[in-house]
Amino acid sequence: MDGILPLWKPAGMTSHDSVFKIRKILRTKKVGHTGTLDPQVEGVLPICIGQATKISSLVMDSNKVYEAEVCLGISTETEDQDGQIVESRVVEGNLSIEQIETALKSYTGEIEQMPPMYSAVKVNGKKLYEYAREGISVERPKRLVMIHSTQLLSDKIEWSKDQDTASFRIRINCSKGTYIRTLCVDIGKALGYPAHMAHLVRTESGSFTREQTMTLDEVKEAQEQNKIQENLIPIDFALQKFDTLYINEKDSFRYQNGQVLPLPNPLPSTNPFRVKTKNDQLLALYQIHPTKGTLMKPFKMFAKEK
């Protein structure tokens, strides 16, 4: 059983819990996820099965798309709705959609972020949330992330009943490692208010979209009907961003055995690149040899389909 199962992870479950349940349903140990999704967040979580576990890191490094609700007027310790309130301020009634759109324009391209204290980033071998729970303040390492686009989804501002807070929804297309909580806080600062992330859903992860996903109940039903393999997405689908080198059948054994070979001419436009037979069977990912510039070597190998 090989392929990728795009799971719709429910809120209230960790990514590790999801993998455990999939292993139990499919009765196989070779299962891995493609990057953690916070327990309170629902959304697309590609699950790699069998040989697909070899490319989990590549899927993990792909872009993500999120839909978030930004709440102005309240900031919290955790930067989301579950944390204790740190600061509050009444949002003025003259706040406009135009002001929000202007603020969002500042958060596209490469930006610098400081990870929240309640995060799994490690400092001196210890996770930040462990320091936070102990009340210890430490210097957090800043990181550069890429925001490809930030789009306002709301056509009007949602005001709370007491009019103290204001909320709106945004869609973010971003690189791996982007903290959407922090982005929401920073957008609030740009508008002059404390803020937090009130809700978050991940709608895309790499090549995988919400429409392709299955729930855990649907996975269980497919397994009971012996239809799980037809619901798995081929490994090649997740590697679309890599160029392809097509080879003759007679040369396939050299690639299947992982031989170091001369670079092809013309050279594929990506590094690594896919190696496929003329009948479109994926054999391997190859890369330019790191020390021998005229040669190429295997990056990931895939066993021949039976």
Q: Which are the catalytic amino acids?
A: 38
Is residue 15 packed enough to be buried (19+ CB in 10 Å), middle (13-18) or exposed (0-12)?
buried
- d(CA 184, CA 187) in angstroms, rounded, equals 5
- d(CA 136, CA 126) in angstroms, rounded, equals 12
| Closest residue by Cα to residue 225 from 49, 90, 25, 44 | 25
CA 202 to chain centre: 8
Task: Give the pair of three-digit tokens for residue 116.
Answer: 């929240």
Task: Give the pair of three-digit tokens for residue 164.
Answer: 């103290």
Tell me which amino acid residue 185 is. Answer: V
Q: Which residues in 91-118 are b (16+ Cβ under 10 Å) and which e?
A: beeebeeeebeebbeebbeebebbbbbb
- d(CA 182, CA 263) in angstroms, rounded, equals 44
Per-residue CA distances from 226 to 53, 212, 220, 229 (Å): 22, 19, 10, 8
- Look-up: residue for tokens 């990728």? 4
- Look-up: residue for tokens 């501002």? 157
For residues 68 and 167, is the Cβ–Cβ distance under 8 A?
no
Task: Give the pair of three-digit tokens for residue 76.
Answer: 């919290």
